[in-house]
Structure 1
């Protein structure tokens, strides 16, 4: 299983348009980017590949990185930075199944699958396949399980991707606070690679109107506001899950420049063979 991080940034990416902060300037100087979130998972046994989330930077990502177009896609939730790139399927794919959860979101009155189907009803070459959380399904020769996480006010899902032949396992936290349910943690546990939402360092919680929550024993907040993990929260969750390797994704340009390019923060283009 080859995992390529196509997009490792948050909703504005790094560098952020119109921003001249130290971190954005340093990213430009280094020639690195954190575009909006997307992960490419290739089954090297079958030659098929799965795309997790459709970044608005879809076109740039596939022109920049040497990976094949996906044979299937998956949408974790309906925020624009994870779904709007699906419009790029127009005239690109002959047939593209898109997987998503079937739970009705009280906020929208639709499941993620239903929202994808209605929002992109003009794309007659995609088909939306709905799945119940915790029920594994097979796509591209890989076993995938969606699990609820905590990203208010919308329903959002993390996932585990496993190769049934080799046992290789990739887990993604999805956009989430540290408050991931225990039954979801059980599915995500023991990954060879864990991609964890770590939007900012905990020190920045003092700048959020709601501060931080899910404090550890030392009083360090593991959630920034209500919707995303801090760096410290993401690393705590990785330890709980017994992750062999962890990369922090969905990171913001608010990281201080002296911390923004340190391990284990990911940048676009990283590849891992599991």
Structure 2
């Protein structure tokens, strides 16, 4: 499979519009971007491709990256930076399968699949397919398994994409508190894409600080919703990932750290 990181940023992206912070300025100097999160995966044997999450930057991403429009999508959760790009499907597709979890969210009273179906009821060329967490389904020649992670207050899912002995694991938006059963599904990936919104040092600036501290006292969760860089790297070690790229990155990284390995930028491609 060929994996293209279309969007590696958080909800505002980097550079953030109107922001003159050192990291946004450095991104402009380097000519790199972190648009809102989205991952494109191509099955080189069948020529089919899968899109994980529909970034609001969908149009821009597909105009600037040399990847085909997807044959199917998976949506991890309903926050706008992962879902609202689906409106771009209007007039672009004849029939687009959209895969999402069927688990009812106590916060919204409906599943991710239900929310997509209701919000985009005018898109008669998309078909929403409901799946139970941990159910493995086939799409684009891949085996897909959505797994619950921890992104309060909404349900959110990580994803394992497998083809033969090859595995791509995506944590989705999550704190470090991923359930053990989900970790089992995500374990031993050839490539791990892990949420790492900020470095642990910035937890002191969060109103509730950090959580899930490691034995040295370093927080692996920033607030309640996202892993720190250090948390994502701890998870990668725990999952025994062969290769790790950190994604869903905020522009709050200090400029001297913001573009260091293994922090990803848009346009990276990996053959696994």
Decide: shared fold, TM above 0.5.
yes
Question: Residue 253 of structure 1 aligns with which residue?
Answer: 251
CA distance in 1, matches of 2:226, 2:110: 23
* 1:209 aligned onto 2:207: yes
Structure 1 residue 168, shift from structure 2 partner: 1.0
* 1:93 aligned onto 2:68: no
CA distance in 1, matches of 2:208, 2:92: 43
Alignment of 1:48-87 (within 5 A): 48-87=48-87
CA distance in 2, matches of 1:138, 1:208: 41
* 1:103 aligned onto 2:103: yes
Question: Residue 118 of structure 2 aligns with which residue?
Answer: 118
Question: Residue 268 of structure 2 aligns with which residue?
Answer: 270
Question: Residue 141 of structure 1 aligns with which residue?
Answer: 141
Alignment of 1:34-53 (within 5 A): 34-53=34-53
Moved over 6 A (4+): none
Secondary structure class of the residue paired with 1:86:
helix
Secondary structure class of the residue paired with 1:117:
helix
TM-score where L is the length of structure 1: 0.99
- Please give the root-mean-square deviation of Cα atoms over the aligned residues, in Å: 0.3
Question: Residue 2 of structure 1 aligns with which residue?
Answer: 2
Structure 1 residue 223, shift from structure 2 partner: 0.1
CA distance in 1, matches of 2:160, 2:85: 22
Secondary structure class of the residue paired with 2:103:
coil
Question: Residue 232 of structure 1 aligns with which residue?
Answer: 230
- The CA deviation string for residues 188-222 of structure 1, in whole angstroms up to 9 with x for no partner, is 00000000000000000000001000000000000
Question: Residue 188 of structure 2 aligns with which residue?
Answer: 190
CA distance in 1, matches of 2:117, 2:127: 8
- The CA deviation string for residues 102-128 of structure 1, in whole angstroms up to 9 with x for no partner, is 000000000000000000000000000
* 1:241 aligned onto 2:239: yes
- The CA deviation string for residues 71-125 of structure 1, in whole angstroms up to 9 with x for no partner, is 0001000000000000000011111000000000000000000000000000000
Q: Which runs of 5+ in 2 are unaligned?
A: none
Secondary structure class of the residue paired with 1:97:
strand
CA distance in 1, matches of 2:53, 2:190: 20
The aligned length equals 272
CA distance in 1, matches of 2:78, 2:139: 21
Question: Residue 25 of structure 2 aligns with which residue?
Answer: 25
Secondary structure class of the residue paired with 2:81:
helix
- The CA deviation string for residues 31-71 of structure 1, in whole angstroms up to 9 with x for no partner, is 00000000000000100000000000000000000000000
